[in-house]
Structure 1
């Protein structure tokens, strides 16, 4: 009797394991509860910056009167600081607690291109402590702070940014070079000054190292571009209604903040803007991004949590984030996690968003050395149109290059080597992506993990994709593609799997004729099954190479 129960229990365990491998979507039937993000509240008292001597003529430098108005408002218990109609030239603005900086519809806040107005300060650059020029708008350790209205905040970023020649027409390039500045030895990149060029030639210029001070980087100061708006360790933050554009580097950088809301803002940068991200939400908790529009030079809506050891030592994941009802036009990625995600990211919802012409739609990127765990990501109802790269991408070989190669650009293939798993090994797991509609992409789905750490537990359900190429799964485990309708130009193969384990493709509907349905390569490939596939227009079902066993694939009705 005891032996019978032991065998029965063992059978149950095997059954449960099988279900977890091939039907793990059932385990995600109950998602975590979405967070409630606390909102700001201000007294009705209003201070007009003109009462402090500000002049909206585009020539008078208003740094002091604007900051004096903010300080006075905070000291009296809080309220609204009004920027009325006008063109308000200013240097850095430092926000204070309990202040709502309200930009009128007819107002433009323009930050000066006089770099002397921006001192070098202790800051953060791409996930590491660094000396940078002071951000045009900043705040640290604040509570209950907002920037609202429907006016424009312009970072004057063209004065700061380098520009790549191959991102401009010949006429644009000649005009830029003739305006001043310098070009590198190969005449491929324009820099605004010699100081900026010197910084580009240094490895990690500005990054804090033991024994260095701001003075050590004075000769490359111009290179140390600030992010336009940086809030650090703040609680209850609102950005609403305004247009934020033309940043020296990233547009918006909330760092280690809690209770953050971005609502109905427009974020813009030229498409060629180097590091011109829309928003980078780094090590933040309880975040809402809704009804916003992004059209920028780098990633659109991006989740980060620090880089490499610095991010792991900080140990603050970005968590409890809701991103809904947003539109992203040009950007390297529509919604992005990484690559600086060393502190982790978890419990993130992305809903009802549209990506129009973004290089990649859903972009999840990392590389060895980062470490960190990205998990529990829930994505639903996404539209994509005219995506030059991949519609959905997971890549653990991020190489800090533009996602879509430019004309004439040659890139070396990645060198695949299996390394030991350490704290520097990143992890992507537990993603649920449902109801995705793609009309035009270079590739529908691309997943590439590491030999020592495959990308794990991904469900993509109810996807309708029109793309040049189909699906590629490399070093991936526990992947379920369910109800995938796909039309591609290249159909040899439609789906490629390399060293994939526990892969289920259920309800595949190819809309065009297919030469080869699935190719399987790699000796580690196993437990792959195709269920309920429409086979009427398929010439060949399967092909195996590079040590793949024919038994690794099962095709059922």
Structure 2
């Protein structure tokens, strides 16, 4: 091979990397339009509401909202006190405002929630009516200083492994039923039956309403679902104790979430904080999430249904937020079949989350996640991975429970189709993580690698450093990996066009990098003190030493 031909091939191999490096600035996002309201106010007391914790105020609150909307809009005030209610429907030009010390308590009486055709985990499904809902409304808000409680404990199943022995005994003694293996508690027989029916809530031609009623209690509602709404504001309120997801804006546009607190028990199954699904033009800022599943999550529909909808979540700013317990601090997926793009995350803190930055998908989803910009992230005490890209998501908890055994996914190369998902053009910079199990985990598909990712300017303290398989066009620049497992610090398997520049690591490490797999090539280590390790690199499982270049 001539020198000029070699140089041309080398240039072509690094073009994807150069393309990613070109993304120095996030895209210019359109201005998010916030709603405005008339100063007219209506107090729910005027419509007969009583704060005695006994009176069911469903009719009174909904009558106040309807009257306000018909008059051209304004503010519906929920005063201080405990207001028991069933589902509340928000309507155009109405701001539902909770005064300080107001507690809007949704009833645990399942009969107050009718079965409706809705959407759950990216697929049209039968669900119980959400406590707070709006469909195709414009200029709506929930604001104030009060608390909205979804009575989630009445709906949720609970795994034994997630409670102490005393907590478990108390829960079982309260009623409900146990699964056949006695490891999961369900609030009712209908709830247990639903867990045994495949796709219990799916809307299909052969399924009757009577079929769905037989498993009604299993079809837990999300606390808030705004579907197809425009100019939406959620501000100041605490949303807590949701039956399933806490906040679920679906196909909304011009959404502002500001100074909210989403709070669920840490063991709350499907207890996500906020799930943006197929939304456009969004700001989430100055908010706190302490929940049982993913904290701040981006979605866009699941599999064929998501691709058919074809609406990505796009033009999103997440800034100045804190996530405590959650499966992931900031998450994209796994239901991302409509795609996700032009998303900017800045100045967020994750404390005690299972995973910090979590990108997850699986075969069958399809969809493209691209143009994601993450900057200024602080993490502490991350249970598993600080940064994770996983294209083998299997719908299980990110941390293996005691006594649980998991087999690694079967690795095989399949044809690329519309069902093949993609992660590409993701730029993450200025991350500090103090204590994680793994610093970075990357697992792409053989037929569709995780592509063109930049991780830059980081200090990551963890037990293990980097594990990468099936990646193409990764740049690690100015990354400090201080790990207790130093054999090796970096694992690269069946990956190509990998640049490791300015890597610092623990002195006295056994091996800096192990390269494995016969597909590995174009791995460049540069501006790095390789002498701090006993061995610069090793090759295993068919990797060729020529795959690694030390500069």
Which TM-score bucket, shorter chain as reference?
A: over 0.9
Quote the Cα distance in structure 1 between the aligned partners of 2:54 and 2:507: 61
Residue 184 of structure 2 is aligned with which of 183, 189, 198? Answer: 189
CA deviations over 1:132-181 (Å, ceiling 9, x no partner): 00000000000000000010000000000000000000000000000000
Bigger shift: residues 29-38 or 349-358 = 29-38
Contact residue 350 and residue 379 of structure 2 kept, 8 A: yes
Match of 1:267 among 241, 253, 262: 262
Please point out which of 362, 365, 368 is paired with 2:357: 362
Matched, 1:202 2:197: yes
**How far, CA to CA, are the matches of 2:20 and 2:456 in structure 1?**
9
For the pair 1:241 / 2:236, whether they are aligned, the reply is yes
Q: Which residue of the partner structure matches residue 122 of structure 1?
A: 117
Distance 1:423 1:28 in 2: 27
Residue 88 (structure 2) pairs with residue 93 (structure 1): yes
- TM-superposed CA distance for 1:409, in Å, is 1.3
Distance 2:472 2:56 in 1: 58
Distance 1:510 1:196 in 2: 51
5 Å-filtered alignment, 1:505-544, equals 505-544=500-539
Aligned to 2:445: 450
Q: CA deviation at 1:268?
A: 0.2
Using the TM superposition, give the Cα deviation of residue 14 of structure 1 relative to its aligned residue in structure 2, in angstroms. 5.2
For residue 83 of structure 1, what is the aligned residue in structure 2? 78
Q: Which moved more, 1:213-222 or 1:114-123?
A: 213-222
- 2:341 is matched with which residue? 346
Distance 2:374 2:528 in 1: 25
Residues in 2 aligned to 1:96 and 1:340: alpha-carbon distance in whole angstroms: 28
Residues 76 and 13 (structure 1), Cα distance of their counterparts in 2 relative to 1, 3 Å cut: farther
Aligned CA RMSD, in angstroms, stands at: 1.5
**Distance across 1 between alignment mates of 2:31 and 2:346:** 16
Counterpart for residue 276 of structure 2: 281
CA distance in 2, matches of 1:75, 1:16: 64
Q: Distance in 1 between matches of 2:507 and 2:128?
A: 54
Aligned mate of 1:318, from 308, 313, 333: 313
Match of 2:159 among 148, 161, 164: 164
SS in 1 for 2:64: helix
Contact 2:127 2:201 in 1 (8 A): yes
Aligned to 1:553: 548
Q: Of the candidates 156, 168, 172, which is equivalent to residue 173 of structure 1?
A: 168
Which residue is 2:53 aligned to?
Answer: 58
Q: Deviations over 1:352-388 (max 9, x none)?
A: 0000000000000000000000000000000000000
CA distance in 2 between counterparts of 1:150 and 1:513 reads 54
Q: Please give the alpha-carbon distance, in whole angstroms, between the structure 2 residues aligned to 1:483 and 1:362.
A: 19
CA positional deviation for 1:22: 4.3
User: What's the counterpart of residue 431 of structure 2?
Assistant: 436
Measured after TM superposition, the shift of residue 413 of structure 1 is 1.2
Check conservation: 1:496, 1:518, Cα contact below 8 A. yes
Match of 1:231 in 2: 226
Maintained 8 Å contact 1:481/1:504: yes
Distance in 2, matches of 1:142 and 1:19, equals: 48
SS at 2:50's partner residue? coil
C-alpha contact (below 8 Å) 1:35/1:321 kept by paired residues: no
3-state SS of 2:325 partner: coil
Task: State TM-score, norm by structure 1.
Answer: 0.97
The offset of 1:513, in angstroms, is 2.3
The TM-score normalised by the length of structure 2 is 0.98
- Identify unmatched segments of 5+ residues in structure 1: 1-6
- Which residue does the alignment assign to 2:105? 110
State the alpha-carbon separation in 2 of the partners of residues 213 and 36 from structure 1: 45
Match of 1:327 in 2: 322
Q: CA deviation at 1:31?
A: 3.3
Contact 2:26 2:344 in 1 (8 A): no
Describe the superposition over 1:498-535 as per-residue Cα deviations: whole angstroms up to 9, x where unpaired.
00010000000113421011001111100000001123
Q: Do structure 1's residue 380 and structure 2's residue 390 form an aligned pair?
A: no
| Distance (whole Å) between structure 2 residues aligned to residue 541 and residue 10 of structure 1 | 29
Instruction: Give the Cα–Cα distance (whole angstroms) in 2 for the partners of residues 404 and 11 of structure 1.
Output: 45
Counting only pairs closer than 5 Å after superposition, residues 496-511 of structure 1 correspond to structure 2 as 496-511=491-506
Aligned length in residues = 550
Partner of 1:218: 213
Check conservation: 1:488, 1:512, Cα contact below 8 A. no
Q: Deviations over 1:264-304 (max 9, x none)?
A: 00000000001000000000000000000000000000000
